[in-house]
Structure 1
Amino acid sequence: MTDPTDHALVRDWFRELAEHVRAVDFAAARHLFAEDFIAFGTFSDFVPGRDNAEANQWRKVWPTIDGFTWKLDEVQALVSPDRLFAVGMGVWDSTGYHPDGTPFPRPGRATCSFRRSAVGAPWVATHTHMSLFRSTPDVSHGNKPLAS
């Protein structure tokens, strides 16, 4: 069984990430990710490094979508026996836009690995694998202003 406090902190990570995505605030989101973070990406197979992920993934997606929200009640977490490593899984909803500006549902799911320096500390993502549900267009054409 996952400790309820550990699970709550995993949900907090997902909740905070969604806030930054909706605000298109890259600078505010950086602390959620380790510098040596690595992602699977839409635009490249592996995206090593937080700065690289921001430049080549986040900045190509966050400004183009609206309403990014995790289904927080459904977030799952697996935590290591020492409680310093975890895997979180979540499902999101968002709105994407076709080239003509018409909206479409843009749901997806993610698996994220986390580490932390001490039990009770916030989780920091070391890896994410985010993917859209089948038949969802993989590119959105929105154009929101950036907060950072």
Structure 2
Amino acid sequence: MKLLSPVHPDDMSAVRTWFETLAKHCRDVDYEGARPIFAEDMIAFGTFTDFMTGRDLAEEKQWRNVWGTIRNFRYDLNKIEAIVSADRLTAIGMAVWQSDGFHPNGDRFDRPGRTTVTLGRKQIGDPFIATHTHMSLFRGTPERSYGNFG
């Protein structure tokens, strides 16, 4: 039995825009600018804290431990997948990222990973806001990066 319906092109564009916006804020180490694309009461999983409730905690425990230590964070926007609810107000987006990590001695390494995000909005046409994120590195990727770009 198939349960998934085709995603409306406007909804797919809105999901891609969310990922593109996150990547830009991460590259710019712009915590303040990123806050509006996350719900204040979001729930997240991350590398440094297993389970967090609240955007402020996600910023403190996750974003600030990562964004300023990496470079060139980007998603392949052509390979994003999405599931959108029948009322088009909730979406799940999935994407793979690439970034540059840095060893303690300054040597660069590839730092790939993946994101699953739950997105919501009050009405069709509004931008999506993240209510849940789960970001994880691919197996074998060092958990820490030691760059200093923030």
TM-score by length of 1: 0.97
Aligned with 2:143: secondary structure?
coil
- Please list every run of 5 or more consecutive structure 1 residues that lacks an aligned counterpart in the other structure: none
Match of 2:62 in 1: 57
Q: Secondary structure at the match of 1:17?
A: helix
1:75 to 74, 77, 80: 80
Look up the equivalent residue of 1:86 and give its one-letter code: A
| 2:34 aligned counterpart, secondary structure | helix
The Cα shift of 1:45 comes to 1.4
Q: What is the aligned partner in structure 1 of residue 133 from structure 2?
A: 128
Match of 1:10 among 15, 22, 28: 15
Query: Is structure 2 residue 114 aligned with structure 1 residue 109?
Result: yes
Percentage of matched positions with identical amino acids: 55
Show the counterpart of 2:50: 45
TM-score by length of 2: 0.95
Among 2, 20, 25, the residue aligned to 1:20: 25
Q: Secondary structure at the match of 1:57?
A: helix
* Dislocated runs of 4+, deviation >6 Å: none
Q: Matched residue pairs, number?
A: 145
Cα deviation, residue 44, structure 1: 1.7
What's 1:119 paired with?
124
Shift of residue 23 of structure 1? 0.3
State the 1:125 CA deviation.
0.2
- Deviation at residue 60 of structure 1 after TM alignment: 0.3
- Could you tell me which amino acid in structure 2 is paired with residue 17 of structure 1? L
The letter for the 2-side match of 1:42 is T
Q: Tell me the equivalent position of 2:3.
A: none
Letter in 2 for 1:23: D
Question: Which runs of 5 or more structure 2 residues have no equivalent in the other structure?
Answer: 1-5
